[in-house]
Structure 1
Amino acid sequence: MTNIKFAYNTLVYVDEDIEQGIKRIAGFGYDAAEFVGEPEMMDANHIRRLLDKYKLEASSICAIYTPERDLVSSNPDIRKNAVSYLKKCVDFAVTLGAKGISVTPTANMKIHAETDRETELGWAAEGIREAGLYAEEHGIRLCVEAWNRYETYLINRLEQSLALVKAVNLQNVGCMGDTYHMNIEETDIAEAFRSVGDKLYYVHFADSNRAAPGRGHINFEPIAKALKEMNYAGYVSLEILPPLADPFSGAKFEEFYDLYTKESIAFLKKLFNQS
């Protein structure tokens, strides 16, 4: 047995009423739903009522990093805005009962640095520390996620995530791994997870093509074995996205709704030997 819980990211449920997504995730037997980090566009109290109605947890806030929310921008006003955004995500998480927030220092799809790496990592640590202190007051974790080289240039592997986490030096700031990104960047996904040990705070699962696990070529068995041997007791959340150059464009693919949601929970339960 394992204490791992399963979640599904509602990000892929494009143009659908949030209640339908929550109902679907609960109905297929997940423990939790993950929510898009757009606090000003979502009714947190309404979502919390729906979670209570369907007896579902909120696992995490999937923060969205745009050019206006860039923790390593050379513009100090943009860096300040990024920290402010993270604090709003903390408030959003508290209302929903979510446990953490994903953090990536750069804007999504930003692939060129604006200054030297040491300076940018310093800005990242400074901003994450300020937001992290606020999150700590509210019992929320910040999870530094490594993205692949085509979406960011700064934090691509878990060893880099861990180095930044150590620089921040807060108990509630840890690492986050996503198997889709890791299948591009890591030599051995299972060993990469092991390398961060008890600083692994959150996990995303998606296959090599960012579809449901089992529809690509990642071997998830050694990954599950590593997580169990590490006594990882957090969430494994499905973040599966459309096969597009820009998967965040809002395109709707029907298989990501009922089909992949149902298929993925069955895959996870078998993988982790949960009934």
Structure 2
Amino acid sequence: MIKYSYNTLVYAGEDIETSIARLAKYGYNGVEFVGEPEQMDADRIKGLLEKYNIEASTICAIYNAERDLVSSKENIRRNAVEYLKSCVDFASKIGAKGISLTPTACMKIYGEADRETELKWAEEGIREAGIYAGEHGVRLTVEAWNRYENYLINRLEQSLELVNRVNLPSVGVMGDTYHMNIEEVDIADTIRMVGEKLYHLHIADSNRAAPGRGHIDFEPIAQALRDINYSGYLTMELLPPFADPFNGTRCEEFYDQYTEESINFLKNLFKEEK
């Protein structure tokens, strides 16, 4: 059965109880938390999840220049692995089952070595973190980002190639319809190609607003998910069109309006009761 979650990244600066309460109010099954374990009170979050009868779905890990699995500097690659392990610990504490993973730093659009060397570094780091994740009942999901935000893994076939190199059941593929709309020839066919290795999917329309507010046709995507018997989370990751998209405080519609619209749109798409 499809489950619905929402990335709280866009609720920047908001008290976490307000975010969790909003998602419970509109019928979401889960909450995706920002991957900053040192800033999170895991015990409080567990209590709030129980209070509002909602799950922790996933962790949206944050990859900055000091958390780069393919940096040419060994100490930075080591730091990235340790960061992932800290996210695994956080996920395990609050009951989240997945962590998004991108091998490079966010907005890094150039390599520091040849492609094969960087893929080898990524494989090594993901394997170590993936073994640790598996031991804690958590999965890592390798996400493809568009060419303007990343240079190494842009399409799901590249994500799948890296996942197959790592070859661990705790490591799978993650898609994002916003990125896929830019990079994939056919989003639905790509989902079918990945098949059972698709562990997680972020949802946003072509303009990164709520589904239905851009030009992506979600009907074929929904059918492809049915075809592969997808039973994971569909997690909204909606961001405003600013140079700093992580500051959603200037866009009231990204709070209640889009949160409600998104789940209603998807439940209608999958012919579920609202």
Superposition TM-score, scaled by structure 2 size: 0.98
What residue number does 1:156 align with? 154
Alignment of 1:163-174 (within 5 A): 163-174=161-172
SS at match of 1:112: coil
Residue in 2 that maps onto 1:15: 13
CA distance in 2, matches of 1:242, 1:250: 6
What corresponds to 2:242 in structure 1? 244
Moved more, 102-111 or 9-18: 9-18
Q: Does 1:213 align with 2:230?
A: no
| Aligned equivalent of 2:86 | 88
> Contact 1:129–1:168 at 8 Å: present in 2 too?
yes
Trace 1:141-152 onto structure 2 (pairs within 5 A): 141-152=139-150
* Pairing 1:118–2:105 present: no
Alignment of 1:1-275 (within 5 A): 3-249=1-247, 251-275=249-273
Deviation per CA, 1:123-162: give whole Å up to 9, x if none: 0000000000000100100000000000000000000000
Kept in 2: contact 1:9–1:33 (CA 8 A): yes
Q: Over residues 150-179 of structure 1, what are the superposed CA-to-partner deviations in whole Å (9 max), with x where a residue is unaligned?
A: 000000000000000001010110000000
Residue 8 of structure 1 deviates from its aligned partner by 0.8
Runs of 4 or more, structure 1, over 3 Å off, are 249-252
* In structure 1, C-alpha distance between the alignment counterparts of 2:250 and 2:13, rounded to whole Å: 8
- Residue 245 of structure 1, CA deviation: 3.1
Q: Which amino acid aligns with 2:114?
A: D
Deviations 1:80-100 (A, max 9, x none): 000000000000001110010
Identity of aligned residues (%): 70
Taking the aligned partners of 2:126 and 2:191, their CA distance within structure 1 comes to 22
| DSSP-derived class of the 1:144 partner | strand
8 Å CA contact 2:12, 2:247 repeated in 1: no
1:120 and 1:248 map into 2 onto residues whose CA distance is 28
**Residue identity matched to 1:244:** F
**SS of residue in 1 equivalent to 2:57:** strand
Whether the 8 Å CA contact 2:11–2:248 is kept in 1: the answer is no
Q: Distance in 1 between matches of 2:203 and 2:140?
A: 18
- One-letter identity of the residue aligned with 1:241: L
Q: CA deviation at 1:252?
A: 3.6
In 2: Cα distance, 1:146 partner to 1:268 partner: 22
Q: By how many angstroms is 1:44 displaced?
A: 1.1
5+ residue gaps, structure 2, are none
> 1:250 deviation in Å?
5.9
Cα distance, 1:251 vs structure 2: 4.8
d(CA) in 1 for partners of 2:198 and 2:83?
23
Which AA in structure 2 matches 1:230?
I
